[in-house]
Amino acid sequence: MNINSKIPGYVLRAFDSLRLRGIPAYLVGGCVRDLMLGSSVHDWDIAAGAPPEDIAACFEGFRLILDGVKHGTVAVIIDGQKLEITAFRGEGGYSDGRHPDSVFFVPDIESDLIRRDFTINAMALPVDSGGYINPGKIIDPLGGMADLRAKQIRAAGDPAARFYEDGLRIIRALRFSCRLGFEIEAETSAAVRSCRQMLSRVSRERTAEEFYKILLCPAPGKILSEYGEVFTAAVGAEPANTDLIDLSDADFVTRCVMLFGDSTADVLYGLKRPKSEISSGKAVSEALTAPYVSIHRRLIDLGYKDTRRLIDVSYTLGRLSLRESREMISEADALIEAGAPLKESQLDVSSEELIALGYTGARLGKLRRELLYAVADGRTGNSRDKLIDYINKTEPR
């Protein structure tokens, strides 16, 4: 396994700086897991055997971010990249079910590793003076490598204790299982279910971030189906259509509509998602049960992205055939390319002209939308003369 070529230069520079001060340091956590799996690493973390002030002293001349010092973490910017270096530490109790009541420093890496969430995240790798890693020197006090080989997620120590410390670990177990395609070990699985009430103590934003990552996995259906009651506790609604979810596009709003239907907007609001997602979820879920209208009208009401979401959900639920869905997408693409009017501002008659005809306030807004629909339905053309003629024939003065 050639993993050395995967370690970026800025990480190796950090190890060199720590080594010059005689501070022992290791790669830890998810980056070690991903290295040993041969996967891409997105976040590099270092644990070091010194208090944070001594770690910071190793990086004179570098920009430091010291917001996490009280938790033992120093962030340093090297070659434009942010890297977190944390002192070997232990943690006190978790009286709020979210944060440790206290953090204390420990003398060795093994004591640091055993406090972590899952065995596959509780491993460390030394980096030698040449910048090389020997996988045979991995420090693995809890059997994380055995669990990687067995393709299982197992809590570090007593599962219930880990989940009562921080309820977010429950949904993280589900995410790791989904992302890696691993099973959840039996005792850990039982604790995921029995401790699910701890999710109520987790911030909505933290829950939402994990749920988002789960839904963007290629195949979240299995975990959503097996742990439906846990997801209900996490997001406040029971997921449906879990047997079909893998067939839909890996888009968060699309998959939320698949899972929660009319409750989508409420779920997204409860998770404190962006207003744009809440609005899209509401619009697509409502359109799903509304009477049929033309694709041009859908583009007017929903916009292109949400129209594609509606088509995807409708096809995945079996309400459209593959041929029908492709034809609808082709029609939407053709309308966009042709510059078909999708907004009132694209009508060939101005608001000023309509005001001159006596339409103001709410009547003006209603008329402009009706003209847009009339063009979309082919009841008139988008030219000034045709639009005025349509008004004269259909609108009371």
Residues 79 and 3 in one domain: yes
Given 302, 320, 338, the domain boundary residue is 338
User: What's the structural domain count of the chain?
Assistant: 4
Instruction: Report d(CA 285, CA 281) in Å as an integer.
Output: 6
CA of 156: how far to CAs of 46, 149, 153, 181, 305, in Å?
19, 16, 10, 19, 43
Does a structural domain hold residue 308?
yes
The residue among 338, 361, 377 that closes a domain is 338
Task: Using the predicted structure, report yes or no on whether residue 181 has a pLDDT greater than 90.
Answer: yes
Lookup: tokens for 36: 């040993």
Contact in structure between 13 and 44 (CB atoms under 8 Å): no
119 and 160 in a single domain? The answer is no
As a whole number of angstroms, the longest Cα–Cα distance in the chain is 88
Task: Tell me, yes or no, whether 316 lies in a domain.
Answer: yes
Both tokens of 58, joined, read: 């190793």
Contact 199, 233 (CB under 8 A): yes
**Residue 101 shares a structural domain with residue 160:** no
Query: Does 92 score more than 80 pLDDT?
Result: no
Is residue 4's pLDDT more than 70? no
Distance CA 175, CA 187 (A): 17
H/E element, 20: helix 9-20
Examine the domain organization and report whether 164 and 225 are in the same domain.
yes
269-291 pLDDT, tens per residue? 999 999 999 999 999 999 999 99
Does residue 286 belong to any structural domain of this protein? no
What is the rounded average pLDDT of the residues 255-276?
97
What's the average model confidence in pLDDT over 308-315?
A: 97
Tokens 């968060």 label which residue?
Answer: 252
pLDDT of the residue at 146:
98
278 within domain boundaries: no
Pair 355, 391: CB distance under 8 Å = no
| Same domain membership, residue 144 and residue 15 | yes
Give the global pTM: 0.90
- In total, the chain counts a number of residues equal to 397
Structural domain including 355 reads: 344-394
- pLDDT at residue 98, rounded to an integer: 66
Read off the DSSP letter of residue 73.
Answer: E
265 falls within a domain: yes
**How many other CB atoms are found less than 10 A from the CB of residue 147?**
21
| One domain for residues 131 and 215 | no
Residues 7 and 105 in one domain: yes
User: What is the percent of the chain with per-residue pLDDT over 90, rounded to a whole number?
Assistant: 89
Shared domain check, 125 and 2: yes
What is the CATH number for 268?
A: 1.10.3090.10
Helix 252-260 crosses helix 275-289 at what angle (to 10 degrees)?
50
Determine the pLDDT at residue 163: 96
249 vs 99: CA distance, rounded Å? 36
Give a yes or no: residue 229 inside a domain. Answer: yes
- In this structure, the answer to whether residues 22 and 56 fall within a common structural domain is yes
- Is it the case that residue 132 has pLDDT exceeding 70? yes
Q: Tell whether 107 and 196 lie within a shared domain.
A: no
Q: For the chain, give the mean pLDDT.
A: 94
Residue 76 pairs in a beta bridge with 64, 83
Q: Please indicate, yes or no, whether residues 202 and 171 belong to a single structural domain of this protein.
A: yes
CB 97 within 8 A of CB 198: yes
Boundary residue ending a domain (123, 150, 177): 150
Q: Say whether both 102 and 226 belong to one domain.
A: no
Evaluate whether residue 279 is within a structural domain: no
Q: What CATH number is associated with residue 96?
A: 3.30.460.10
- Structural domain includes residue 105: yes
